[in-house]
Amino acid sequence: MTSMSDASWHDEAAKQTRILQIIVAALVMGCLFFLLIVLSIGSVVKPVLTVQPISLTTIASVLAGIELIAWVVVTWAIVTKGRREILNGTYKPVNRQQQTGENDACREAEHLLSVFQNKTIISSALFEGIGFFATIAFLLERNPIALGLAAVMILGVAAQFPTRSRIIGWVERQMGAIEP
């Protein structure tokens, strides 16, 4: 059975879900449209960079490896810092309107929704940046590895797409981790 406070933050989770879905979908669509433009002009534009000391595809591949490590570390740091500040009572949510909690547990849940939003946006942006870079590498070099890397990074952005049940489950797991 759902208590009143659960219903309150679950309603907030539904709102956050819609906002994050729009943001992540826009990031995916931006990458996809750019990739489609690059693919459509492929027969018109010949590879620009054919001989260079190090290829853009190689740079994009190395950056993708670094980005994956950064993704793990940064998301871990965001969540850990958020949980610690919530536990200490020092967490300051970006969205001040969000503070509608009826009790401490509801307030914690709403703060965790803010942490989830930050984590999702930053994670999506990390994948998006390398996706654009790999697409530019493909445009200039016509290396199929760059095309594959761009596709993988776009899928990385899409993997951040939130659902209401995913957000609620994440918040509930984090609340269990916050319990002193």
How far is it, in rounded angstroms, from Cα 34 to Cα 24? 16
CA-wise closest residue to 97 among 77, 117, 127 = 117
Residue spans of the domains in the chain: they are 4-43+56-178
Smallest CA-to-CA distance from 151 within 162, 159, 163 is with 159
Interval 54-100: pLDDT, tens:
899 999 999 999 999 999 999 999 999 999 999 998 998 876 554 55
Q: Does the pTM of the predicted model rise above 0.75?
A: yes
Residues 6+ apart with CB under 8 A from 131: 31, 35, 150, 153, 154, 156, 157
Residues 158, 58 contacting (CB under 8 angstroms): no
The 3-state DSSP composition of the chain as helix, strand, coil percent (nearest 5) reads 80, 0, 20
34: burial class by Cβ within 10 Å (0-12, 13-18, 19+)? middle
pLDDT digits (tens, 9 = 90+) for 19-37: 999 999 999 999 999 999 9
Mean pLDDT of the residues in the chain: 88
Residue 5 is predicted with a pLDDT of 57
CA distance 37 to 99: 43
